[in-house]
Structure 1
């Protein structure tokens, strides 16, 4: 893991770029290099490089409209005498805060620390928020579950044509945006399981529907995996004392139908399935308290039926 603080990006990439932008704009407004150096707190040699275009800079910020607008505002204020160093600092601090809130600094941070991708990370803005920790835990659990799926012998045989997905919700989910899954679904290609991307919240309406229906019935159940309906897998579940629950494939509101079927059973089954309908591929759901638990149950069931 590459441990990078947002403040490092501010110092190493944001600040030099903004100084170069300010130096160029102050020069355009008629300030001498000595005056610019005094305003920016840098050497005259540095200003010479900034104004001469030798400083480089980072296009993440050079092309950011909010950064450009702030630099223009500061340049006007300093050149016209309406701003002093305190005012300029206040403007820049406000800009940094904004750019850390899903802006270029946040994007750069995700680039430097891929572990942050898909988190909807507000760490810089919200601090050590327990909600962020819960999101991270769910995403990590789904990632582990996908690795389990990719390693299961015979998994490619139960991936439906529409693809497989594994989803897990936050505690007390409200809608599908509280369910993390793999964007684009998981596919079998050449006998291998392909995971196209890291999990994200709101990535799968299909599996989220099953997860939310299950969670409404039993708040402990927060995860599901969809696979092709397979007689051997259903029989393997029965042999383990896990009687699968059949439901209809062609209900327009599948979530409500699943809630009704779970209520009639009195619990959420480990496996629920349908046999398909016109234009609808037969699909089963394997449920668990976590994505990892669901993946491990699926692995155990497939081991039972593997030759």
Structure 2
């Protein structure tokens, strides 16, 4: 059995990190090293996100307008230095909750674990 959190760790977090890293570098012209420092990641992880070697499996997250707006706000707050480590975690978790409520992972979750096709846990 693969609980939702395992799907999040395997698919959502890398996708979110990739989107955030790309926005930081494109919008704020950060280097890979500076983006890595802001996100608490390695430069090599950022490099892999930029080359779509990591974090490019969930297109539904990348295309969702609500998620894109939340990520845009999050990136602006990171770049401005407004967020500290604790508030960064909270904001990251809020984006993940939105992904869950919008059922953006249900298809992937049921492909990985078909027995849960009638699951409604994310909607509670």
TM-score band, normalised by shorter chain: 0.7 to 0.9
Q: How many residues align?
A: 122
Q: How big is the shift at 1:48?
A: 1.8
The 8 Å contact of residues 102 and 122 in structure 1, kept in 2 or not, is answered as: no
Over residues 50-93 of structure 1, what are the superposed CA-to-partner deviations in whole Å (9 max), with x where a residue is unaligned? Answer: 22443351213222223222211111111122223322221221
Higher strand proportion: 1
**Structure 1: distance between partners of 2:55 and 2:91:** 23
> Aligned partners of 1:52, 1:108: CA distance in 2, in Å?
23
* Change in CA separation of 1:19 and 1:102 when aligned onto 2, cut-off 3 Å: closer
Residues 22-61 of structure 1: pairs in structure 2 closer than 5 A: 22-28=20-26, 29-58=28-57, 59-61=59-61
Higher helix share: 2
Please say if 1:9 is aligned against 2:41. Answer: no
Larger radius of gyration: 1
- Cα distance in 2 for residues equivalent to 1:70 and 1:8: 22
The answer as to whether partners of 1:25 and 1:72 remain within 8 angstroms in 2 is yes
TM-score (norm 2): 0.82
Task: Note if 1:97 corresponds to 2:97.
Answer: yes
Q: How big is the shift at 1:123? A: 2.1
| Worse overlay, 73-82 or 101-110 | 101-110
- Long gaps (5+) in structure 2: none
User: Which residues of 2 match residues 106-255 of structure 1 at below 5 A?
Assistant: 106-117=106-117, 119=118, 121-124=119-122, 126=124
2-structure distance, mates of 1:90, 1:56: 20
Whether the 8 Å contact between 1:101 and 1:125 is mirrored in structure 2 is: yes
- Matching residue of 2:71: 71
Give per-residue Cα distances to partners, 1:178-237, cap 9 Å, x unaligned: xxxxxxxxxxxxxxxxxxxxxxxxxxxxxxxxxxxxxxxxxxxxxxxxxxxxxxxxxxxx
State the distance in 1 between where 2:103 and 2:48 align: 28
Write out aligned runs for 1:282-293 (5 A): none
Report 1 or 2 for greater relative contact order, CA contacts < 8 Å, sequence distance ≥ 6. Answer: 2
User: Does the CA-based 8 Å contact 2:67-2:95 persist in structure 1?
Assistant: yes
Give structure 1 stretches of 5+ with no counterpart. 127-307
